[in-house]
Structure 1
Amino acid sequence: MEHIRHIGRFIRQTADELVKTVTPTVREWELWCMAVAIFVLALMILVTGMDFSLGKLTLWLFG
């Protein structure tokens, strides 16, 4: 019987926490999507540059 009370308390606490959540606005979604796209693009440029540079260095060293 004790387990049922724990489960009930867990469900109540979960529902209380869900009420506290705030749904982002469309503008916030747009900003976050832009930020992620810029970050991914920057990482792609960084990795591409490193790959190209290290490839050239390897060919120069072991040519």
Structure 2
Amino acid sequence: MSERSEQERPEGSDDTSRPVTAAARRERRGSARPASRRAAKRAEGASTSGGDAKNRPTPSRDRQEQKKGNPFKRFGRFLREVVAELRKVIWPTRKQLVTYTAVVLVFVAFMVGLVAGLDVAFGKGVLWLFG
């Protein structure tokens, strides 16, 4: 193992540990899943055309074509896309959720106290000044 890779990893970690960063999780997830037929065809088309698939412009769609169609099919597609987006979310662990919730509650309590204290102070100042 190289000296540089040992320096980058924290002590006590091994190669089988879970990825720490979102990018590492995406990379691991992408390598663990077999490519679908559609993705394989796209990769073949990109390699034979000589251009990078990411550099191609998005094909424009006809707006009339999108508005037509069965509303139930469109709603079904919408739900499938929502589920697909939710799968991309990196959800917090229970410990992170409890920590973030506690931080938010403490901050909100502090701000409520600060605003209430300023309100009382300005109220007494106005009463003292204008009687």
Q: Same fold (TM over 0.5)?
A: yes
Structure 2 partner of 1:50: 118
Structure number with greater Rg is: 2
Query: Normalized against structure 2, the TM-score is what?
Result: 0.42
- Relative contact order, CA 8 A, sep 6+: which one is greater? 2
Unaligned runs of 5+ in 1: none
Structure that is richer in helix per residue: 1
Instruction: Tell me the TM-score normalised to structure 1 length.
Output: 0.74
Deviation at 1:5, TM superposition (A): 3.5
4+ residue runs over 4 A deviation: none
The answer for unaligned runs of 5 or more in structure 2 is 1-67
Q: Report the residue type matching 2:81 in the other structure.
A: Q
**Residue 36, structure 1, aligned to residue 104, structure 2:** yes
2:83 to 15, 21, 42: 15
Correspondent of 2:127 among 43, 59, 63: 59
The number of equivalent residue pairs is 63
Q: Does 1:2 align with 2:69?
A: yes
Q: What root-mean-square deviation, in Å, do the aligned CA atoms of Structure 1 and Structure 2 show? A: 1.9
Deviations 1:21-63 (A, max 9, x none): 2321111112111211121121122112111111211111122
| Identical-residue share of aligned pairs (%) | 37
1:17 is displaced (CA, Å) by 1.2
